[in-house]
C-alpha cells in the first residue's frame, strides 16, 4: 500500500512515541519536501521508513497553494503523482481539496482504528486520549464515536 502523509499525523505520533505504527501498517510512508521541512524544524532525525520524494508538477502545486499551505498542497500533488492508495491528512481544508482532486484521504484516527483492528495496539480510545493530552490533537466527538464503535470499544 502506498501512503503519503502530511505533517500533522507524523508529528502527533512522534509526540506520543507511536510513529512506528505507520511503518507497521504501511511499510514506507512518503512525504514531500515541504512536509520534511516542517518536520525537521522540530525533529532533527526522521524515522528511516519515511521517504522524502520531491514533487514534479510545480504548476499544479502552485494552483493548490492558492487554497492550502505548502505541505498540504505538496502532499496532494505527491499522492497523485505516485498514485498513492491513501493520503494521511486531518486538516479539513486539505481533506476537502484532496477529495475534490480525486485523492483518497484517511485521518489519523482511521490509522488508529486500523492499528487496533490488526492487533497492533490494545485500545483506540487510549491512544486517542494520549493524542489529545500529549499532542493536543483533537478530533470531533462524532468522528471519535464512529471510530471507537468500529474498534469495538463503545
Task: Specify the pTM.
Answer: 0.94
Distance (Å, rounded) from C-alpha 135 to C-alpha 63? 31
Count of beta carbons in the 10 Å neighbourhood of residue 97: 19
- Identify the pLDDT of residue 154: 86
Count of beta carbons in the 10 Å neighbourhood of residue 63: 12
Architecture per CATH, 3-108: 3-Layer(aba) Sandwich (3.40)
Chain segment 45-60, per-residue pLDDT in tens = 999 999 999 999 999 9
Count of beta carbons in the 10 Å neighbourhood of residue 72: 26
Delimit the domains of the chain by residue range. Answer: 3-108, 109-150
- Identify the pLDDT of residue 146: 95
Phi-psi region of 130 (alpha: psi -120 to 50; beta: other; left: phi over 0): alpha
Fill in the DSSP letter of residue 50: E
Low pLDDT (below 50) residues in the chain:
none
Long-range contact pairs involving 132-137 (C-beta distance under 8 Å, separation at least 24): 134/15, 134/16, 135/11, 135/12, 135/13, 135/15, 135/16, 137/8, 137/12, 137/90, 137/108
Amino acid at each position: 500500500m502506498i501512503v503519503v502523509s502530511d505533517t500533522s499525523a507524523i508529528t502527533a505520533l512522534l509526540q506520543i512515541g507511536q510513529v512506528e505504527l505507520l511503518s507497521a501498517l504501511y511499510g514506507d510512508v512518503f512525504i514531500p519536501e515541504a512536509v520534511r521541512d516542517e518536520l525537521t524544524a522540530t525533529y532533527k532525525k526522521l524515522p528511516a521508513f519515511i521517504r522524502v520524494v520531491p514533487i514534479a508538477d510545480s504548476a499544479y502545486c502552485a494552483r493548490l497553494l492558492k487554497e492550502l499551505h505548502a505541505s498540504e498542497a505538496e502532499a496532494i500533488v505527491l499522492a497523485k503523482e505516485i498514485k498513492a492508495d491513501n493520503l494521511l491528512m486531518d486538516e479539513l481544508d486539505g481533506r476537502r481539496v484532496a477529495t475534490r482532486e480525486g485523492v483518497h484521504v484517511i485521518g489519523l484516527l482511521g490509522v488508529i482504528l486500523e492499528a487496533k483492528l490488526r492487533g497492533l495496539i490494545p485500545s483506540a480510545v487510549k491512544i486517542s486520549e494520549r493524542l489529545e493530552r500529549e499532542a493536543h490533537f483533537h478530533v470531533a466527538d462524532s468522528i471519535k464515536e464512529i471510530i471507537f464503535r468500529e474498534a469495538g470499544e463503545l
